[in-house]
Structure 1
């Protein structure tokens, strides 16, 4: 039996967090109607406690075999995790170095903020 870290190497434990221990084996097989050889992973997972209960509930509710349920879960996880990530530099392009101000603004921001707030909302009562 291999642990979750070993399963993570083939994407099992990370894709399906409820799989605590698993057996994996990889083989090459040719599927009917597909001339190209495809990798096949055989997984034997042990689920315990609430995870086993949840797995059985989903199987019964959806009417799926264990393999089909795992495939659906992996496909859903893959669709969410493999979305293109936004480029942080592009997201910040309109904000970084886009304004005008003193050269030392980042170093003296509290002082500048205090001056602006003091001018807008004086802390002392002024005589007229």
Structure 2
């Protein structure tokens, strides 16, 4: 019986806590007004920012520092990784360019009505 009464009291307290009116919000404090200054009015001169230079100097050493360059990309290991101009620097790219040029020549031969001679690796007029 005591348990039932205790549970009923707990439920009653929870119910009144949940249905009670929300606490009143505190009244906002009045904002202070800034004191009136009796100093001279500001001058009409415009401040000029110093010119911005590309070089950065450290205050302690006076040495000029430059922005770090990103690391170079690794050498291509397959033809699809090559960029324009890489054929002079990398053999993989030179071989890939020769292969692509051969494919273009073969396609142009067939498109123009020619016959590709496989042994001679050249286009014969059709």
Bigger fraction of residues in strand: 1
Larger Rg: 2
TM-score if structure 2 supplies the norm length?
0.26
TM-score if structure 1 supplies the norm length?
0.25
